[in-house]
Chain A
Amino acid sequence: MPEKPAYSLAEDPQLVDLAKAGDMQAFEELVSRHRDRVYVRAYSIMRNEALAVDLSQNAWVKAWQRLEQFHGEASFPTWLSRIVTNLCLDELRRQKRARTDSIEAMEESTGPIENRMEMETLDPIEGLSREELRERIDAALAKLSDKHRTVIVLYEFEQLEYREIAEKMGTSIGTVMSRLFYARKRMASLLKETLKRDGLIE
């Protein structure tokens, strides 16, 4: 077993090595450091607090079970983020299966609207702090459908490539591109609306 340091002073890779050797305290320290990040990613996709907490917990359990598979190609938080993202996608698939056909048909009918909508111009916004802008972006994200929000979260926040998103979502690269384009148009439109309402743009 690696030499035990003061947990709070240890770097992630050192804690991971200790955890791999069965040290639960080292793993607890990792949870303490990265729990918010894992929760944020789950919440960004699911938009449901209770579900995001449950999925975050499940992600940590999975991480413990799969620690041997972590070889440090990506950082530990990035690896964790992938785990919770996969759990969220599984949960969305499960929810989709549970939905009625009529709701499914309704969701798919967004196609024609998609083609009519123009991409809005969004210039850098003066007089708005980064935090205020984030809040508005978050509110706009909440208004997207699951599939459009997921694709934008995976691309913009999880920083996956088209191919990786297609693999994770079980769809084609063309569909990912199309959903991403629609999601951006919708985001631009929603943001413009809210910024106009707040008098930040004309």
Chain B
Amino acid sequence: MNENEIQLKVQALVDGELTGPEAKEWRGRLETDAGLKELHARLTAVRGLMTGAELPRTLPESGDFHWSQISKAIEHEERQAKHLARPASGANWLLRWVLPLAGVACLMLLLTLQQTTRPDLGISLGSDHELELSIDDLDVMTFNTGDDAMSVVWLDYSLDLQQDEMDLWLD
């Protein structure tokens, strides 16, 4: 046991934290060790001075004001607690669940429609009309109509195509 541990044991004896055989053993050591006895006396004196030595103080605000602050805080806390405990009303339920879900559904519908809608070419199509559009090569477009037994192929070429390339293509 080092010096520090011995000091702490003496302090524990002063504070009544040692009981039974341990307390008896340390009281015995005090009798034979003058240094320990001296430490015990000093610690006892400090303890004696400290006992009940907390300086009385008065709250630095009026009692009425202090109470008004406390009662306001209590009311606030109780309102909060009631608000959290209250079951959601019809309107709250609508705002919390139905509207966001409706929003998500609308968004999904819109995305689905965008994927299936073809580009608006300004042509009114009947049920038996067929429009083929090559997305990869926008220079070629075909328009078929069963009613008129007609097919139109629209070729749009870029200006930078070489004349020989165009000839070859037209052949």
- B113 CB, min distance to chain A CBs, angstroms: 54
Shortest Cβ distance from A29 into B: residue: B67
Contacts of A65 in B (CB 8 A): 74, 77
Give chain B nearest CB distance to A67 CB in angstroms: 11
Interface residues in A49-71 (C-beta closer than 8 Å to B): 49, 53, 56-58, 60-61, 64-65
Residues of B within 8 A of A184 (CB): 11, 43, 46-47, 50
Residues of A within 8 A of B48 (CB): 124
Of the candidates B11, B54, B73, the one whose C-beta lies within 8 Å of that of A57 is: B73
From B47, B53, B63, B69, A133 is in contact (CB under 8 Å) with: B53
Q: CA–CA, A155 to B8, complex, Å?
A: 15
Residues of B within 8 A of A58 (CB): 73
How many chain A residues sit at the interface, stated as a range, is 35 or more
Contacts of A155 in B (CB 8 A): 15
The answer to whether A57 and B53 have CB atoms under 8 Å apart is no
Q: Assuming the A-B contacts A28-B67, A61-B74, A178-B8, are A53 and B15 also in contact, with contact meaning beta carbons closer than 8 angstroms in the complex?
A: no
Nearest opposing residue in chain A for B69, CB measure: A57
Pairwise interchain contact A123-B45, C-beta atoms closer than 8 A:
yes
Say whether A129 faces chain B, with CB atoms less than 8 Å apart: no
- Decide: B55 and A56 in contact? CB cutoff 8 A: no
Contacts of A96 in B (CB 8 A): none
Contact with A along B68-79 (1 / 0, CB 8 A): 011101100100
User: B43 and A53: CB pair below 8 A?
Assistant: no
How far apart are B82's CB and chain A's nearest CB, in angstroms? Answer: 13
Whether A138 contacts B55 by the Cβ 8 Å rule is yes
In the assembled complex, B59 has its CB within 8 A of some CB on chain A:
yes
Task: Using known A-B contacts A24-B71, A39-B57, A53-B60, determine if residue A133 contacts B49 with beta carbons closer than 8 Å.
Answer: yes
Residues of chain A contacted by B114 (CB below 8 angstroms):
none
B70 touches A31 (CB 8 A): yes
Please determine whether B60 and A49 come into contact, CB atoms closer than 8 angstroms: yes
Are A57 and B42 in touch, CB under 8 angstroms?
Answer: no
Contacts of B127 in A (CB 8 A): none
Residues of the A chain whose Cβ atoms lie less than 8 Å from the Cβ of B61: 53
Given contacts A57-B69, A178-B8, A188-B42, contact A64 B74 (CB under 8 A): yes
A41-B54, A157-B54 known, 13 other contacts, Cβ within 8 Å: A31-B67, A32-B67, A39-B57, A61-B70, A65-B77, A120-B42, A122-B49, A134-B56, A137-B55, A138-B53, A152-B50, A180-B15, A187-B50
